[in-house]
């Protein structure tokens, strides 16, 4: 039997898992410069993002969308609850939570990474 090419390697899994937290933090970061820094840490410059309300691309546009989210959902944040990865792809389960930590809405996101470990695409799904 041939070895599986591109299979999950433990170090890569840990690096990908670590990249998910700054993405979540950027959703509630009020400072635009800090929010962009968080995105640059984890996402390729041409990273694409989609959810039921939008389909956008690039750090600046994603940052602006996250700023708009903050205005619509004051105090909300995202708490990652599960993470799986293989072959430069990931799945993240999360809860949108209010300031006190109470879960408001569960969701799931899928993502892809480039060879450098940066997100190239993230797609979020929420309950309607």
pLDDT digits (tens, 9 = 90+) for 72-96: 999 999 999 999 999 999 999 999 9
pLDDT in tens, 18-75: 878 999 999 999 999 999 999 999 999 999 999 999 999 999 999 999 999 999 999 9
**More confident position, 11 or 93:** 93
The packing angle between helices 10-26 and 32-42, to 10°, is 160
Tell me, what's the pLDDT at 15? 75
Q: How far is CA 126 from CA 58, 87, 107, 115, in A?
A: 22, 24, 5, 28
Asked whether residue 7 carries a pLDDT value surpassing 60, the answer given is no
**More confident position, 52 or 16:** 52
Asked whether residue 3 carries a pLDDT value surpassing 50, the answer given is no
Q: Map out the domains of the chain as residue ranges.
A: 10-126
Pick the CATH number of 10-126 from 3.10.450.50, 3.10.20.30, 3.40.190.10, 3.40.50.300: 3.10.450.50
Tell me, what's the pLDDT at 12? 64
Asked whether residue 1 carries a pLDDT value surpassing 80, the answer given is no
Strands 43-51 and 119-126: parallel
Asked whether residue 8 carries a pLDDT value surpassing 80, the answer given is no
For residue 115, which phi and psi values (nearest 5 degrees)? -65, -20
């Amino acid at each position: 039997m041939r070895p599986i090419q591109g299979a999950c390697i433990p170090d890569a899994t840990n690096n990908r898992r670590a990249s998910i937290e700054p993405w979540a933090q950027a959703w509630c970061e009020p400072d635009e410069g800090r929010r962009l820094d968080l995105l640059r840490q984890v996402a390729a410059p041409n990273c694409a993002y989609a959810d039921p309300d939008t389909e956008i691309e690039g750090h600046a546009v994603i940052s602006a969308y996250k700023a708009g989210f903050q205005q619509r959902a004051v105090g909300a944040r995202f708490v990652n609850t599960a993470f799986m990865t293989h072959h430069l792809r990931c799945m993240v389960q999360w809860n949108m939570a209010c300031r006190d930590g109470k879960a408001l809405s569960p969701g799931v996101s899928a993502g892809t990474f480039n060879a450098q470990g940066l997100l190239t695409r993230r797609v979020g799904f929420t309950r309607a």
